[in-house]
Structure 1
Amino acid sequence: MNDTIFDLDISKTDYKSIFKKFPTPTYLWQKKDDDLILIDYNNATKEITDEKIINFLGIKASELYKEEPQILEELYSCINEQKRISRELIYQYQSTGQEKILFVIYDFVKPNLVLAHTKDITEQKKAEEKLRESEIHFRSIVDNSHDGILIVNNNYQFTYVNNVLCQILDYSYEEIVGQDFRNFLDEESRKLVAVRYIRRQRGEKVPPRYEFNVIRKDGEKRRVEIISTVNTELRGGITTIAQILDITERKKTEQKLKESEKKFRRIFEDSPFSVVLINLKGKIIDCNPATEKYSGYKKDELVGNNFRDLSLIHPKFLLPLQEAFNRFLKGEKIYNTDIQMYNKNGDLIWTNLQASRVKLNGETFFQVIIHNITKQKKADLVIKEQIRRLQELNQIQKEFITRASHELKTPLMSISGASELLIDIYNDKLDNNAMEMLEIIQRNKQRLEFLINNLLDIVLIDYKKLKLSKQSINISKIIREIANELKYFKKKSEINLILELPVSVMVNVDKIRFEQVITNLLLNAIKNSPPNSDIKIVVKHKGKSVKISISDTGIGLTEDEMKRIFTKFGKIERYGKGLEFLDIQGSGLGLYISKEIIELHDGHISVESAGRNMGAKFTIELPKE
């Protein structure tokens, strides 16, 4: 049997044997009148039909295939047109009820026969379907890969590329497939890839991973990494299957890292400070020239040793350093401390260590910058000793002021009592000179008493023990009373005091301390004002606060004096022609104490002056509540 019309003239004696033993089910039909009659079948047909085929001998084709018009048409075409017909069909055997996929060939046999061969290709079709499904599955995987995938045939032509490779090259699938892959490379890469490609095709061992440059559609050059393999199992002969990774950005990053490391190395070598690199195990990996200078050790005496094993570090600092190192291993990023170290000569020096994490060539190290701070530490010790001594002196001063103030009060009370007694008993018996002397004693007693109270206030302020006893009072009334009490000083200095006060301004203050502040400010204005000048006191409401200003037209203040005027013992000494009216007596404590009292009230005190002989204005701002 061949692809031409079947011929029975082989040998009449062998025909029956060949027909019966033919491996595929075969049926013999003979034309009779206008129909075909089944006249014979072979052994394979008996097996496939469980020998039920015998029941169909002599049946007409029109009867057997009345439900299969296409089979009937093909039989008639074969006998009438004397030609071979073949096709696949799904057929259900009437004898067994089984449904199979068959490949059928109808051959014309002279003079009036049709030989029908049927081959069961059911399993073959199932296998092909599974293969097709598998191909779809793996194609989906390849098409959706994050890397470029390509297949190149033996003629250097692309036979397949996935979407990612199209994006890398910026060409469409249709523009790439069929093209020579070398057309997408720069000159240098073309030579490199061609040589490797030929060697791989020959079966030589060539590293599967290497790098080269591709040229995109827009002319941009991209660096890629290829991982390739030769395959001989795909249709079309020897092919190369490769995975392409676009590593352009990675290469740029690596270049920047190299430049950064080069810069770091330059800084490392040229740094005036000692720099040591330690790995995660505590071993010294590198150190700069400054380290040799400061420590006295050569580089090869330090590198390769564990920092714990060196005799550089004072024993009392080893444990804290080990604990800090362990914290670094757990993720702490920066560490700063002062320790004592020994140089090679055995000298003990103070150093400051600043440690941080750095990455070099992808590996993590601890970078330790070491500063020699021996001189600084010595200076710190001197400063600390001076501070300690000053604190001692300050304490002695406070104790002296407290004791002296209390000791001065006892004789002062005796002087005050005695002078008052003399005035009361001998008032009418003493002449004017004697009375004037007693008045001098009284005035200086008051001045001394004022100074002692100021010194005691200073101690209370320094120890933060100055307490307030606040109450709501009419400050306008208090200011008027103080102005009246100071009429002796006003009259003596021929000062005109102008009051611009509301009838009532209620403010929550400590009455005694408020009186002390206003008295200090008024006396200060009187002392620094020439005769026949004006002093003005103005009280105004300002929202939830009240503003009190005391202005004079006296000697005024310079910028430097305004900076010092509220400091402790900030007395300003001024002498010279035309300043004879100034009362230079005082301790320089009044304004300092006034400032502290106002601030204890959550208020603010300030001074302003246009300069020498331009007067001064003191302003107090206090919350009403």
Structure 2
Amino acid sequence: MMDSTICDLGDLMDYFPNPAYLWKRNGSKLIFVYANNIAKQIPGANVRQMMGLTAAEAYKNQPEIYEDLWFCLNNKKSFMKRIDYKYVTKEWTRNLIALFSYIPKDYVLIITVDETQERIHTRQLKDTKRKYQFIIEHMNDLVAIINTDLIIEYMNEQAHLKELGYNKTELIGESLAPGFIHPEDFWKVEYILENICSQEEITKEIRLRHKNGTYLWFGVKSKLIRDLSSETENKLMVISRNISQEKKFIKELEESESKWRFFLKNAPDVIFTLDRSGIIKYINHPPTGLTPEQVINTTVYEYVEPDHRDIVKEAIKYVFETGNSTTYEIRARGPENSVSWYSTRVGPLTKREEIELVILITRDITEKKQYEKKLKELSSFKSQLMRRCSHELKTPLISIMGYTELFYNDHHEELTPQMRFKIEEIEKGCKRLNVIIKKILDSLKYSSGLSEIKPRKEDLTFLINFIIDELYPMFTTRNLTVVKDLPNEVWVSIEKEKIFQVVENLLINAIKYTPPPGTISIKVYDYDDKTICVEIEDTGIGFTETERTKIFKKFGKIERFGKGFDVGIDGSGLGLYISKKIIELHDGKIWVESEGRNRGSTFYFTLPKTDN
């Protein structure tokens, strides 16, 4: 690629804000070859009459301008001076400031500024000269002028140094021999020379030799520069851009595409693309008995069970409208025309930031569905078994509790202290077993999704104070201090009995797992505009990170027996699971924070507020 400021000066001059005139040496003469649009618009100048004139003819009445032109050309210098210029067709003279600029090779450019606007135009002229020089010498692309003998006559040095490591003294006057151009690419240079006169501009990809001996790929644009006074002195403007990284990227892309095609061919999943209408545009594994050609351009809905077609339509519509991915499970045509279950992920395929197609990755999950069905059956059987066992345990337990109480009351005076103690232990065990059975039945009810709540407006502060009063003997027995930070009243929408169960469970746990002497704090505050938060903090044995992940699961009890803690060890592992389900039924959430073993713990849960 060649710099337009040297190779096509006329185009560049038309951007100048001042009149500009271009002269070209032809032997012993200077020929007027171009004037920019600004110069052509000067009233009375009529520069078109000057085209083709020699400098001697144009300035026969002003020999000092003629001499300045030759001085600039012969000395290859640029300078600025004030001149009095008389226009050709008008009997009036303008005082001008003229910038004479030498341009390789054999060109002189005159840029003029009306002295009446000297300050403004001088500044503009300097800016123009600075930009002009910057464009010539600081382009990132390689710019060179070569003649038909492939001799380099001009090059922008900084770009050549940066890209190829050569300075002017190493290239100017040198030939573009096959050593500088890769031998396998030299035929492209010969093609350019043979065809440039008819095509005027030719682009090729050519490898050029770096000074260190390596070859780099360049996109080379060659443009013919016609000599205005000779048919035999044409030159080439060559602009070259380093495309080595681009070529490397294309190679990597081709390799990536090859790997992608290999992946698609050998992937166990069915991968296909669809347009907005559900037309299949690509598929790696068509249904058994069909070829890809038979499937492409058919609709995906032909292979989907009728009652699941709307699911597919909605998924495709969603991806095209939002650009997000989605998943679904459907029944569709499988091997040997069987109907199988498939799990599918749908995502967008974009082109120029527009969603062109959607891609679907589909996996046969028929076997998984069969396992899930068996697991559901087993889960249902387990729940029925636990429910039946719980009921079967409850019936004799009621009899044991009833007859124990009756026996104790009827024979109280006849019993020795040791006998009374044993009967009381039987009663305690029965009550504990009864609580466990109740929790098992509750957990089954919550896990089945059959549980409902009937919320009413309640004062949570009153409820918490009531629970603390009921548990006060336990606090004193364990030598624990209770700290309350409660508002006078907090109105929430809850089912009182169930929230009673949650708060009581959390406080009893705090009592059991806080060694004496310790502190248990409970506070209530606004969580946000619509919810309140209950916070119960203790100075107990705390939780490890692993334990925190287990405690809200069914039977997620953390075993404390034999660990050396001065804490209670009884419990079913269902209390926090049930508490979580109750809070979720109230559209709240529950969580725990703990810094680790013996660092205490804090339980939080939120509830919806209501107006008093």
- Per the normalisation by structure 1, the TM-score is 0.51
Paired-residue identity, % = 13
Displacement after TM superposition at 1:98 (Å): 5.3
> What's the counterpart of residue 336 of structure 1?
327
Displacement after TM superposition at 1:256 (Å): 0.8
Tell me if 1:164 matches 2:162: no
> What's the counterpart of residue 217 of structure 1?
211
> What's the counterpart of residue 297 of structure 2?
304
The unaligned stretches of length 5 or more in structure 1 are 1-69, 71-87, 102-125, 428-434, 480-503, 522-537, 549-565, 573-589, 608-618
> What's the counterpart of residue 369 of structure 1?
361
- Residues 345 and 361 of structure 2 are in contact (CA less than 8 Å); yes or no, is this contact kept in structure 1? yes
Displacement after TM superposition at 1:330 (Å): 4.8
> What's the counterpart of residue 16 of structure 1?
none
Tell me if 1:191 matches 2:186: yes
Correspondence 1:378-457 to 2 at 5 A: 378-398=370-390, 405=397, 408-420=400-412, 423=413, 442=420, 445-457=423-435
User: How far, CA to CA, are the matches of 2:405 and 2:265 in structure 1?
Assistant: 78
Paired residue total: 403
- The one-letter code sitting in structure 1 at the alignment partner of 2:371 is A
Structure 1 213/233 Cα, relative in aligned 2: closer, same or farther at 3 Å?
same
- Residues 182 and 190 of structure 1 are in contact (CA less than 8 Å); yes or no, is this contact kept in structure 2? no
- Residues 470 and 508 of structure 1 are in contact (CA less than 8 Å); yes or no, is this contact kept in structure 2? no
User: C-alpha deviations, 1:175-194, integer Å up to 9, x for none?
Assistant: 43332234673342552233
Displacement after TM superposition at 1:348 (Å): 1.3
User: How far, CA to CA, are the matches of 2:132 and 2:437 in structure 1?
Assistant: 92
The unaligned stretches of length 5 or more in structure 2 are 1-63, 65-81, 96-107, 114-124, 447-463, 485-500, 521-536, 542-554, 562-567, 580-591, 603-612
> What's the counterpart of residue 111 of structure 2?
129
Structure 1 326/160 Cα, relative in aligned 2: closer, same or farther at 3 Å?
farther
Structure 1 248/90 Cα, relative in aligned 2: closer, same or farther at 3 Å?
same
Displacement after TM superposition at 1:382 (Å): 1.9
Q: Which protein is bigger by CA-based radius of gyration? A: 1
Q: Which one of 297, 306, 311 corresponds to residue 320 of structure 1? A: 311
3-state SS in 1 of match to 2:344: strand
User: C-alpha deviations, 1:11-54, integer Å up to 9, x for none?
Assistant: xxxxxxxxxxxxxxxxxxxxxxxxxxxxxxxxxxxxxxxxxxxx
User: How far, CA to CA, are the matches of 1:313 and 1:513 in structure 2?
Assistant: 51
Structure 1 208/284 Cα, relative in aligned 2: closer, same or farther at 3 Å?
farther
Displacement after TM superposition at 1:240 (Å): 1.5
Displacement after TM superposition at 1:542 (Å): 10
Structure 1 138/278 Cα, relative in aligned 2: closer, same or farther at 3 Å?
farther
> What's the counterpart of residue 258 of structure 1?
254
Q: Which one of 217, 221, 230 corresponds to residue 227 of structure 1? A: 221
User: How far, CA to CA, are the matches of 1:144 and 1:358 in structure 2?
Assistant: 41
3-state SS in 1 of match to 2:319: helix
User: How far, CA to CA, are the matches of 1:91 and 1:269 in structure 2?
Assistant: 79
Correspondence 1:488-503 to 2 at 5 A: none
Structure 1 91/443 Cα, relative in aligned 2: closer, same or farther at 3 Å?
closer
User: C-alpha deviations, 1:462-492, integer Å up to 9, x for none?
Assistant: 5489x9943697989847xxxxxxxxxxxxx
- Residues 540 and 547 of structure 1 are in contact (CA less than 8 Å); yes or no, is this contact kept in structure 2? no
Task: Compute the RMSD of aligned alpha carbons.
Answer: 5.6
User: C-alpha deviations, 1:372-396, integer Å up to 9, x for none?
Assistant: 1101101111212322343344445
3-state SS in 1 of match to 2:326: strand
> What's the counterpart of residue 571 of structure 2?
593
- Residues 200 and 224 of structure 2 are in contact (CA less than 8 Å); yes or no, is this contact kept in structure 1? no
User: How far, CA to CA, are the matches of 2:359 and 2:505 in structure 1?
Assistant: 60
3-state SS in 1 of match to 2:111: helix
User: How far, CA to CA, are the matches of 1:318 and 1:360 in structure 2?
Assistant: 27
- Residues 324 and 335 of structure 1 are in contact (CA less than 8 Å); yes or no, is this contact kept in structure 2? yes
User: How far, CA to CA, are the matches of 2:300 and 2:377 in structure 1?
Assistant: 34
User: How far, CA to CA, are the matches of 1:89 and 1:598 in structure 2?
Assistant: 99
Structure 1 320/142 Cα, relative in aligned 2: closer, same or farther at 3 Å?
farther
Structure 1 351/98 Cα, relative in aligned 2: closer, same or farther at 3 Å?
closer
> What's the counterpart of residue 147 of structure 1?
141
User: How far, CA to CA, are the matches of 2:339 and 2:367 in structure 1?
Assistant: 12
User: C-alpha deviations, 1:548-589, integer Å up to 9, x for none?
Assistant: 9xxxxxxxxxxxxxxxxx989x9x9xxxxxxxxxxxxxxxxx
3-state SS in 2 of match to 1:230: strand
Displacement after TM superposition at 1:449 (Å): 1.6
- Residues 192 and 202 of structure 2 are in contact (CA less than 8 Å); yes or no, is this contact kept in structure 1? no
Structure 1 232/253 Cα, relative in aligned 2: closer, same or farther at 3 Å?
same
3-state SS in 2 of match to 1:593: coil
Structure 1 194/505 Cα, relative in aligned 2: closer, same or farther at 3 Å?
closer
Task: Between 170-179 and 213-222, report the one with greater CA deviation.
Answer: 170-179
User: How far, CA to CA, are the matches of 1:272 and 1:598 in structure 2?
Assistant: 43
- Residues 481 and 519 of structure 2 are in contact (CA less than 8 Å); yes or no, is this contact kept in structure 1? no
3-state SS in 1 of match to 2:405: helix
User: How far, CA to CA, are the matches of 2:228 and 2:170 in structure 1?
Assistant: 23
User: How far, CA to CA, are the matches of 1:603 and 1:129 in structure 2?
Assistant: 79
Displacement after TM superposition at 1:173 (Å): 3.8
3-state SS in 2 of match to 1:337: strand
3-state SS in 1 of match to 2:411: helix
Tell me if 1:249 matches 2:245: yes
User: How far, CA to CA, are the matches of 2:402 and 2:593 in structure 1?
Assistant: 36
Using CA pairs under 8 Å that are at least 6 residues apart, name the structure with larger relative contact order, 1 or 2: 2
